[in-house]
Amino acid sequence: MELRHLSGFVAVAEELHFGRAAERLHIAQSPLSQQIRLLERDLGATLFDRTTRSVRLTAAGQALLEPARSLLADASAARRTVRAVSLGEAGRVTVGYADAGGYAALPPLARAVTAEFPGIELALQGQVHSGEALDRITDGTLDLGFVPLPVRRGILSRVVRVERLVCALPDTHPLAAREVVDLAELAPERFVTFPAARGSAVRDATVHACRSAGFAPRIAQEAPDSYHLLGLVGAGVGVALVVESARRIRLEQVVFRPLAGEAAPLPIALAWRADDESAALHNVLKIAERVLPTPTDYVP
């Protein structure tokens, strides 16, 4: 049984005329008659009662009609799906993110992908910090991730945001009344930050900034993402250094203050595996170039 045999059968069943069915299929009547005979031989049943004046479905033909239509529809859908995937119009692209920079970048990207390529599923995976993202991009379990620079061999990247650290404080903290906070004043404080084991760039930047200010931060508790971290700050568990994008997360009990002096920039890049040939991924990357352009003030 071949799809062309089923296609010929359905055409004859719907037209009840071999000549019209052949015209519909753009073939001669003789090859069409041969296809029906081959199908009947394969099934071991007569599908049509033929006379010189009429063609009628037999009971066996009636029984085959709907399954044949269903098989042809499934085959057509399979062709469309394969073509869409090969053109990058459909597929699944996994995106990992964790800190507020990723949260800020995702909405415009996801909306643009959905509008332009509704067949592409963006599988968004939270609490994927930069170190973990690089590992998973390398092993192929993640397609895209938001990471700091530099990236490792075999991974390509493009800067999409430039962040700077600010201080997050409970609103009752004495330093909350200040317009600017000197980082050295936080030396006695307890800090909440992201997990060390998952390779957080913000945690690394926090530790580096504190050491540059002359002290090692006392880590009171870790949080898996920006929302949990700021919740801990609001609860008075400790203070935190976060990226400027975290200001978008509004909690009444948390205030943000810039740090004294010139804060070091923290470039955030979108990263992907260099040898990833997914057409869907490359369509997402093209959209990202448009909706998440590299900041004009970024200097490599």
Domain harbouring 16, CATH code: 1.10.10.10
At 296 the pLDDT is 87
At 189 the pLDDT is 96
Examine the fold and report which residue of 35, 55, 86 is the final residue of a domain before the chain moves on: 86
At 241 the pLDDT is 96
At 120 the pLDDT is 92
- Domain membership of residue 296 (yes or no) is no
For residue 83, CA distances in Å to 80, 286, 289 come to 5, 19, 25
Is 257 within 8 Å of 164 (Cβ atoms)?
Answer: no
Residues 166 and 251 in one domain: yes
Containing 26, the helix (H) or strand (E) segment is: none
User: What is the number of structural domains in the chain?
Assistant: 3
Residues 156 and 167 in one domain: no
Which domain does 33 fall in, by range? Answer: 3-86
d(CA 46, CA 36): 9
- Token digits for 249? 């997360």
pLDDT along the chain (300 residues), means of 10: 89 91 92 92 92 89 93 86 76 86 83 92 88 91 90 93 93 94 96 87 92 95 92 96 90 94 85 93 94 88
Q: Residue 126 phi/psi, 5° resolution?
A: -80, 170
At 283 the pLDDT is 93
- Domain membership of residue 26 (yes or no) is yes
CATH code where residue 193 lies: 3.40.190.10
Is 282 within 8 Å of 86 (Cβ atoms)?
Answer: no
Examine the fold and report which residue of 64, 86, 108 is the final residue of a domain before the chain moves on: 86
DSSP state of 259: B
Q: Give strand ranges (E) for the chain.
A: 48-50, 55-57, 90-96, 119-125, 144-148, 155-170, 190-193, 218-222, 240-243, 254-258, 265-273
Residues 74 and 112 in one domain: no
The structure tokens 């009840």 sit at 16
Residues 69 and 18 in one domain: yes
